[in-house]
A and B are shown apart, each in its own frame.
Chain A
Amino acid sequence: MIKALLSLMVPCGSLLILSACQPDIPETIQQGMVYCAEGSPESFNPQRVTSGTTIDAISQQLYDRLLDIDPATGELLPALATAWRLSPDGKSYWFTLRPDVQFHHTAFFSPGRPLNAEDVTFTFNRILQTEHPYHQIGGASYPYFQSVDWGSLVSSVVAENSTTVRFELTRPDSSFLSNLATDFAAILSAEYAEQLLKQGTPELLDQRPVGTGPFFFKEYKKDQFIRYYRHPEYWRGKTELTQLVFDLVPDNAKRMAKLLTHECDVVAYPRNAELKLITERPDVEVQSQISMNVGFWAFNTQKAPFDNVLVRKALAYAINKDAILEAVYFGYADKAKTLLPPTSWAFYHDLPEQQYDPVKAKELLAQAGYPNGFRMDIWAMPVQRLYNPNALKMAELMQADLAKIGVRASIVSFEWNSFRRKLSEFEHDSVLIGWSADNADPDNFFRPLLSCSAAQSGSNRANWCDPNFDTLINQALLTADVKQRRSFYLTAQLYLDEQMPLVSIAHSKRFQAKSVKVTGVTINPYGGISMAAARKSL
């Protein structure tokens, strides 16, 4: 029967493929691109999420921001704001908005006016004003803005006239503009929000998005795909692509297979182990980009024995990072000295590298009063992330390393959502996790990961609240002078090296595999991927 089936199928298969190349297929399919993503979006509003998967899928495609970051230099570029200026005391910012920016015309919303200052004030007041009708929708959670303490920084956002918006800050903050340029600060439509409020369905704002970006939302089938069509009145000009589909394929092997069968034009996160194999194919091109991220091992510094700095340092000495880089990242990563990647302008080049030294580690443990070691848990995240492609494997390697100094580690893992929940409740001893930066500012590493406010909001995985460190990173924000800022950040890195609330392990490169037919899709080191410049040759 197998033979019978084979002989039946081969000619009909080849016939079908011939007929699939007919020229009368409409443009929406010929000029449509399929991006195979590694997971489903949690929301369609970038304000509400931090996950890179969601940001990749929604932010750059549907929305624009006031400012953009030049991916090559990290400098700020005008986007929806054509110009901006700052008051001498550094506490007021004025933005002039671009005229004639059109919102999406979709099946559920027809815009009656172009973008104006009201849209900008709506976008940010939703986050800032607790009595705002939209503030509580979806649980008043704006994780990125909460992690950078936006609530206490920005005192008001005011529309001076229809094209000028003023932001009033409570203190000067040199990272403010960078935060406005992140993928999270997407500008929403106030008119659409008002329409939804009248309909009594405000929650749809985060589920059926309207923005000004290059594509508009057509349909989302949960765990299957997201369909976007091109925004015909995009202010930067129409995109070449007529349709953009995010095919949601969490399984790595399936994503790979779909690239090889040309079901996907671009594939996110090919597995490091398979990179070599696919680069050999003529129809596939692999792109890489040094990315602003860090994978680390954070200790719960409020729990004994991790409240002892000697123990933390001992554990740091015990880990063989070179072996981890080889086995987990397959060499496609840089060894981390500190939280900041070497590409950051505030990186401390002369910082001594953390050595692998089990003997020293044992000495430190003995000094700390644990000559015979102890038992601990290593929480390994259950998902693959750029900064840590295989946390379980990493945990196993570390388990072996730790055994050499007498520390008996058990590996713990949960389903991803409960994993994150338990982490923010600080149930862990130590955890293997990481961070991808959203903008080029060094503050984006220190504040969301290790500040006291991050310890309160739960994103500080080390549960580490040190007033000295907070003072350093706060002072760095008070000045706009880069030299001064750098000196504060160098001190902060030195301080982290002394205190070791977490062990930075690697800065991974981000990879993407694409069909050679597709051009114009590049990886952005500072955030979500953009398809606006993509094109597909037939």
Chain B
Amino acid sequence: MMLHYFLRRAFLIGFVFVALTVLAFSLSYLFPGEVLNNISGLTDIQPEQRQQLIQYYALDQSLLQQYIAYVNRILDGEWGLSFSSQQPVLSEIIAVFPATLELASYALILSFVLGIPLGLFAAVKADSVFGKLISAVTLVAYSIPIFWWALLLIMLFSLTLGVLPTAGRISVLFDIPTTTGFMLPDIWLSDIDYKSEASQDAFRHLLLPAIVLATYPTTVMIRFTRDSMLAVLEQSYIKTARAKGLSRFEVLYHHGLRNALLPVIRQIGLQFSTLITLAMITEVIFSWPGIGQWLLDSIYQRNYPAIQGGLLVVSCLVIVVNMLTEILHTLFNPLARKA
């Protein structure tokens, strides 16, 4: 039964990847400029190189064969060169992507840690002042435009109070060698003797962007946990459990939580693409050197090979995360497996 389900998912994901690569492939043709430049990323092609490149990229063959050659190159890690730096696009993406993942995962963790307990609290104490306050504040935070909220925080904590930095992942004076691309692990893996100062500094840099980025998913988490908990609390099995004489906590923990959190897991997958979009905005505001800022710079510089590669990576990430949460959801929820 489960195997069948996984096969179906794998088939679906394969199909989505094909669609994505077709889109990315066709961008070389849709972007302005010469196809050969767009596809190779070379800005200056000498006439004598030309024929060789056309053969290499199979441009003299049918579109289908060109597409197959393109997919092969993608799988081989040959993503062309960036127009602006003339460095391989893939290595640039590998350099910036961990920063985005790091920021997004801290924000996501923050939203879990804050969102689920607050949502539960708001559901259980739905009629109390606190419960109502949580709902009201959540609604406000949900509606705040993220860039405005970020600027407010910068103005307060950086410019007025002067306690937090405005930009970057760590003070540029700290020379941390890149091993994983994730800042905190990199600090701990390095052989510097000022690890605690460096991690404190990295943490201070992380605080504002993570809070800004966590704001939206936290509010979603609170609202969903609250609503789904309220719905679960209405169920007759909860009443039965209470009638059996279980304590309020036991009912909540054993019978309520698991059922209430199921739709929340699914929400993570659905909200992930919004999270990535918001991460891009956050990156630009805080000069966080992640893929969002890199992609926006590329768009500004009309760096077509980079845009192509960046879009491919970001959309693949969104799809993979979506798929993973769905599988997770299915594993926890026997009803979904049957459907």
Residues in A lying within 8 Å of B, measured CB to CB: 1-3, 5, 9-10, 13-14, 16-17, 19-20, 22, 24-26, 28-29, 32, 34, 139, 218-219, 221-225, 227, 243, 245, 247, 249, 254, 257-258, 260-263, 415
Q: Verify A258–B166 contact, CB threshold 8 A.
A: yes
Q: Hey, which chain B residues are within 8 Å of A227, CB to CB?
A: 172, 175
Q: Which residue on chain A has the smallest CB distance to residue B294?
A: A223
Query: Could you name 21 residue pairs across A and B whose Cβ atoms are closer than 8 Å?
Result: A2-B140, A2-B141, A9-B207, A16-B204, A17-B163, A19-B200, A22-B197, A25-B194, A29-B171, A29-B173, A29-B174, A32-B173, A221-B289, A222-B87, A227-B175, A245-B172, A247-B168, A258-B166, A263-B166, A263-B168, A415-B302
- Report how many residues on chain B are interfacial, defined by Cβ distance under 8 Å: 44
Q: Verify A13–B163 contact, CB threshold 8 A.
A: yes
Q: Verify B165–A263 contact, CB threshold 8 A.
A: yes
CB distance from B193 to the nearest CB of A (A): 7
Also in contact, A13 and B157, with CB within 8 A (given A1-B218, A415-B302):
yes
Q: Verify A261–B158 contact, CB threshold 8 A.
A: yes
Partner of B137, one of A1, A221, A249: A1
Task: Report the separation of the CA atoms of residues A19 and B203 in the bound assembly, to the nearest whole angstrom.
Answer: 13
Instruction: Say yes or no: is B167 at the interface (Cβ < 8 Å to chain A).
Output: yes
Task: Report the separation of the CA atoms of residues A227 and B171 in the bound assembly, to the nearest whole angstrom.
Answer: 12
Task: Report the separation of the CA atoms of residues A222 and B193 in the bound assembly, to the nearest whole angstrom.
Answer: 27
CB distance from A106 to the nearest CB of B (A): 14
Task: Report the separation of the CA atoms of residues A254 and B218 in the bound assembly, to the nearest whole angstrom.
Answer: 28
Instruction: Say yes or no: is B231 at the interface (Cβ < 8 Å to chain A).
Output: no
Q: Hey, which chain B residues are within 8 Å of A19, CB to CB?
A: 200
Task: Report the separation of the CA atoms of residues A415 and B302 in the bound assembly, to the nearest whole angstrom.
Answer: 9
Q: Verify A254–B172 contact, CB threshold 8 A.
A: no
Q: Verify B141–A16 contact, CB threshold 8 A.
A: no
Mark out the residues of chain B between 104 and 144 whose CB falls within 8 Å of any chain A CB in the assembled complex: 114, 118, 134, 137-138, 140-141
Contact with A along B297-309 (1 / 0, CB 8 A): 1001110000000
Task: Report the separation of the CA atoms of residues A304 and B141 in the bound assembly, to the nearest whole angstrom.
Answer: 60
Q: Hey, which chain B residues are within 8 Å of A243, CB to CB?
A: 173, 175
Q: Hey, which chain A residues are within 8 Å of B297, CB to CB?
A: 223
CB distance from B60 to the nearest CB of A (A): 28
Q: Hey, which chain A residues are within 8 Å of B166, CB to CB?
A: 254, 257-258, 261, 263
Also in contact, A263 and B167, with CB within 8 A (given A20-B200, A20-B201):
yes
Q: Verify B154–A257 contact, CB threshold 8 A.
A: yes
CB distance from A32 to the nearest CB of B (A): 4
CB distance from B332 to the nearest CB of A (A): 28
8 shortest interchain CB distances as A-B pairs: A13-B163, A32-B173, A1-B137, A245-B172, A29-B173, A225-B172, A261-B158, A257-B166
Q: Which residue on chain A has the smallest CB distance to residue B163?
A: A13
Q: Which residue on chain B has the smallest CB distance to residue A245?
A: B172
Q: Hey, which chain A residues are within 8 Å of B1, CB to CB?
A: none
Q: Verify A26–B172 contact, CB threshold 8 A.
A: no
Q: Which residue on chain A has the smallest CB distance to residue B155?
A: A257
Q: Which residue on chain B has the smallest CB distance to residue A3?
A: B137
CB distance from B95 to the nearest CB of A (A): 8
Q: Verify B157–A34 contact, CB threshold 8 A.
A: no
Instruction: Say yes or no: is B191 at the interface (Cβ < 8 Å to chain A).
Output: no
Task: Report the separation of the CA atoms of residues A139 and B287 in the bound assembly, to the nearest whole angstrom.
Answer: 33
Also in contact, A1 and B167, with CB within 8 A (given A34-B172, A227-B175):
no
Also in contact, A261 and B165, with CB within 8 A (given A1-B138, A28-B173, A227-B172):
yes
Task: Report the separation of the CA atoms of residues A169 and B94 in the bound assembly, to the nearest whole angstrom.
Answer: 51
Q: Verify A257–B211 contact, CB threshold 8 A.
A: no
CB distance from A235 to the nearest CB of B (A): 25
Q: Verify B167–A249 contact, CB threshold 8 A.
A: yes
Q: Hey, which chain B residues are within 8 Å of A5, CB to CB?
A: 211
CB distance from B256 to the nearest CB of A (A): 23
Q: Which residue on chain A has the smallest CB distance to residue B205?
A: A263
Task: Report the separation of the CA atoms of residues A222 and B137 in the bound assembly, to the nearest whole angstrom.
Answer: 41
Q: Hey, which chain B residues are within 8 Å of A261, CB to CB?
A: 158-159, 162, 164-166
Task: Report the separation of the CA atoms of residues A254 and B165 in the bound assembly, to the nearest whole angstrom.
Answer: 11
Q: Verify B200–A25 contact, CB threshold 8 A.
A: no
Partner of B172, one of A10, A13, A20, A247: A247
Task: Report the separation of the CA atoms of residues A10 and B160 in the bound assembly, to the nearest whole angstrom.
Answer: 12
Q: Which residue on chain A has the smallest CB distance to residue B115?
A: A1
Instruction: Say yes or no: is B234 at the interface (Cβ < 8 Å to chain A).
Output: no
Q: Hey, which chain B residues are within 8 Å of A225, CB to CB?
A: 172
Q: Which secondary structure dominates where chain A touches chain B? A: mixed
Q: Hey, which chain B residues are within 8 Å of A222, CB to CB?
A: 85, 87
Q: Hey, which chain B residues are within 8 Å of A16, CB to CB?
A: 163, 200, 203-204
Most buried by B among A13, A221, A415: A13
* New A-B pairs, 7, CB < 8 Å, besides A227-B172, A261-B158: A1-B141, A16-B163, A16-B200, A24-B194, A219-B175, A258-B167, A261-B159
Q: Verify A28–B175 contact, CB threshold 8 A.
A: yes
Most buried by A among B87, B167, B207: B167
Q: Hey, which chain B residues are within 8 Å of A9, CB to CB?
A: 157, 207, 211
Task: Report the separation of the CA atoms of residues A19 and B197 in the bound assembly, to the nearest whole angstrom.
Answer: 8
Instruction: Say yes or no: is B76 at the interface (Cβ < 8 Å to chain A).
Output: no
Q: Which residue on chain A has the smallest CB distance to residue B138?
A: A1
Task: Report the separation of the CA atoms of residues A274 and B163 in the bound assembly, to the nearest whole angstrom.
Answer: 23
Most buried by A among B134, B173, B300: B173
Q: Verify A224–B163 contact, CB threshold 8 A.
A: no
Instruction: Say yes or no: is B64 at the interface (Cβ < 8 Å to chain A).
Output: no
Q: Verify B200–A254 contact, CB threshold 8 A.
A: no
Q: Hey, which chain A residues are within 8 Å of B85, CB to CB?
A: 222
Q: Which residue on chain B has the smallest CB distance to residue A12?
A: B207
Also in contact, A20 and B197, with CB within 8 A (given A2-B137, A13-B157):
yes
Q: Hey, which chain A residues are within 8 Å of B134, CB to CB?
A: 1
Mark out the residues of chain B between 27 and 58 whose CB falls within 8 Å of any chain A CB in the assembled complex: 44
Contact with A along B153-196 (1 / 0, CB 8 A): 01001110111111110011111000000000000000001100
Most buried by A among B118, B154, B163, B300: B163
CB distance from A16 to the nearest CB of B (A): 5
Q: Verify A218–B175 contact, CB threshold 8 A.
A: yes
Also in contact, A263 and B171, with CB within 8 A (given A13-B163, A13-B164):
yes
CB distance from B241 to the nearest CB of A (A): 31
CB distance from A305 to the nearest CB of B (A): 32
Q: Verify A139–B44 contact, CB threshold 8 A.
A: yes
Task: Report the separation of the CA atoms of residues A219 and B177 in the bound assembly, to the nearest whole angstrom.
Answer: 10
Task: Report the separation of the CA atoms of residues A24 and B195 in the bound assembly, to the nearest whole angstrom.
Answer: 11
CB distance from B153 to the nearest CB of A (A): 9
Q: Verify B163–A415 contact, CB threshold 8 A.
A: no
Q: Which residue on chain B has the smallest CB distance to residue A222?
A: B85
Also in contact, A14 and B173, with CB within 8 A (given A2-B137, A26-B193):
no
Q: Which residue on chain A has the smallest CB distance to residue B160?
A: A260
Q: Verify A14–B194 contact, CB threshold 8 A.
A: no
Task: Report the separation of the CA atoms of residues A315 and B171 in the bound assembly, to the nearest whole angstrom.
Answer: 51
Q: Verify B158–A257 contact, CB threshold 8 A.
A: yes
Q: Verify B289–A14 contact, CB threshold 8 A.
A: no
Also in contact, A249 and B287, with CB within 8 A (given A257-B154, A258-B166, A263-B165):
yes
Mark out the residues of chain B between 274 and 308 whose CB falls within 8 Å of any chain A CB in the assembled complex: 287, 289, 297, 300-302
Task: Report the separation of the CA atoms of residues A336 and B134 in the bound assembly, to the nearest whole angstrom.
Answer: 63
CB distance from B61 to the nearest CB of A (A): 32
Task: Report the separation of the CA atoms of residues A17 and B163 in the bound assembly, to the nearest whole angstrom.
Answer: 6
Q: Which residue on chain B has the smallest CB distance to residue A26?
A: B194
Also in contact, A34 and B164, with CB within 8 A (given A1-B134, A25-B194):
no
Q: Verify A29–B194 contact, CB threshold 8 A.
A: yes
Task: Report the separation of the CA atoms of residues A263 and B163 in the bound assembly, to the nearest whole angstrom.
Answer: 11
Task: Report the separation of the CA atoms of residues A222 and B95 in the bound assembly, to the nearest whole angstrom.
Answer: 11
Q: Hey, which chain A residues are within 8 Å of B300, CB to CB?
A: 415
Q: Hey, which chain B residues are within 8 Å of A25, CB to CB?
A: 194, 197
Q: Verify B159–A257 contact, CB threshold 8 A.
A: yes
CB distance from B224 to the nearest CB of A (A): 15
